[in-house]
Amino acid sequence: SAPTISAPECLFHPMDFPQKILMGPGPSNAPPRVLGASALPLLGHLHPEFTQIMDEVKQGIQYAFQTQNEWTFAISGTGHAAMEAAVANLLETGEVALVCENGIWGQRFADMVERNGCVAQKLTLPMGQVFSLQQIEEGLKTHKPVMMFITHGESSGGTAQPLEGIGALCRKYNCLLVVDSVAAMGGVPLFMDKQEIDCLYSGSQKVLGAPPGTAPISFSQRARKKVETRSSKVRSYYFDANELANYWGCDAGPRRYHHTGPISSIYALREGLARLAEVGLAESWANHKECSEQLHQGVEQLGLSLLVKDKAVRNPCVTPIMVPQGVAWKDVADYAMKNYRVEISGGLGELAGKVWRIGVMGYNCTPDKIRLVLRAFSEGLVNCGYKPPK
């Protein structure tokens, strides 16, 4: 019989959208070479030319993470998918994870731990603050977890958690260390092997400037051993690291069909990683520091204050700015969008309505983009009734 629901009229017109400057917490704008790569012809997900590209992605992630881990690959999904993968692979039912929560990422990780039938013990700090080694050691001693989670680049609270010494503590208490660096990797120094991180993940759409949809991840030998010696199957088929490692050519092979790799997204990720390699990690870290300081100075000159007071722990990639009394944050963001096509975001969780968030990442990490966002922001403020100090 004939279809009774007719084809939607909207699909007969081309998509229509403006070019925007994405200065929120991500996605950030993708450079033309990345967008160009994602428009290349498709290959099959097990074709040798494609598995060669996967090998290049793997090496690019090893560089970006500063790791020699064999189990290094990209999850087919956003950073949340990598978070799910960390939980699904590294915990068995009933096990205890210590979750450091100073923003929404700790909250989400704890939620995933519980959904997997495990126990999330929390160490909690207000957004905008970071954990000390002493607090972490107390938590490890008290809760005796098999895994600890901490967020390196908090995009909701705007902090960059110092990682030095945490890996050693986790080893002392025989626990795996999982680090979320979705909103910091490439913009903040990060050394997976030296910092003794057991599972590290990031996302494609932040500093790497690739479309959302792939998430670099890596597992240390200790983490790998945990996955390989589990008494139960990994609860997720899609995120099973044993299968993914095989598909990514991280074992003796041959590669098996596990799922259909997101071909175009992997091309884009490859180009995002290539760009980071060409810029160089040290240079990229320095650029993010400089551009974020330019932003911070500009904001402070407007008489506004930043959520994170301690300069040493500010995440250069995402800056939360306190909304002053009497100003409607959304009106300012709408002004910037309407007049400059510049995205400025609002707060998440308990900071919703209380902060703006401006992102400085990858391709958008340039002095001229900072000037542009400051101009759009300051004009928007004045337009919404704010009176900057003389």
The contact set with ligand GLV (CB under 6 A) reads 25-26, 155-156, 183, 348
What are residue 387's phi and psi, to 5 degrees?
-110, 105
User: Residue 148 corresponds to which amino acid?
Assistant: M
Q: How many C-beta atoms surround the C-beta of residue 287 within 10 A?
A: 21
Q: Tell me whether residue 136 or residue 361 sits nearer to ligand GLV (CB atom).
A: 361
3-class SS of residue 199: strand
The whole-angstrom distance between residue 224's C-alpha and the CA centroid of its chain comes to: 22
Least separation in angstroms between residue 155's CB and ligand GLV is 3
Least separation in angstroms between residue 26's CB and ligand GLV is 5
Q: Quick one: CA torsion of 221, 226, 228, 231, rounded to 10 degrees? A: 170
Query: What is the pairing mode between strands 147-151 and 176-180?
Result: parallel
Least separation in angstroms between residue 180's CB and ligand GLV is 10
How far, in Å, CA of 390 to CA of 385, rounded?
15
Least separation in angstroms between residue 1's CB and ligand GLV is 46
H or E segment to which residue 90 belongs: helix 79-90
Least separation in angstroms between residue 203's CB and ligand GLV is 8
User: Quick one: which of 141, 185, 137, 194 has its CA closest to 161?
Assistant: 185
Per-residue tokens: 14: 């081309």
Say if residue 375 carries a ligand binding annotation: no
Q: Tell me whether residue 182 or residue 268 sits nearer to ligand GLV (CB atom).
A: 182
Least separation in angstroms between residue 314's CB and ligand GLV is 15
Least separation in angstroms between residue 354's CB and ligand GLV is 15
- Residues 6 or more apart from 390 whose CB is under 8 A from it? none
Q: Tell me whether residue 25 or residue 60 sits nearer to ligand GLV (CB atom).
A: 25
Q: Tell me whether residue 154 or residue 271 sits nearer to ligand GLV (CB atom).
A: 154
DSSP string for 374-387: HHHHHHHHHHTT--
Q: Tell me whether residue 263 or residue 321 sits nearer to ligand GLV (CB atom).
A: 321
DSSP string for 299-366: HHHTT--BS---GGGB-TTEEEEEPPTT--HHHHHHHHHHHH-EE-EE--GGGTTTEEEEE--GGG-S
How far, in Å, CA of 390 to CA of 377, rounded?
17
CA distances from 330 to 110, 174, 218, 327 (A): 30, 46, 38, 9
Instruction: Report the residue number whose CB is nearest to ligand GLV.
Output: 155
How far, in Å, CA of 110 to CA of 374, rounded?
36
Query: Per the annotation, where are the binding residues for substrate?
Result: 357
Query: Per the annotation, where are the binding residues?
Result: 357
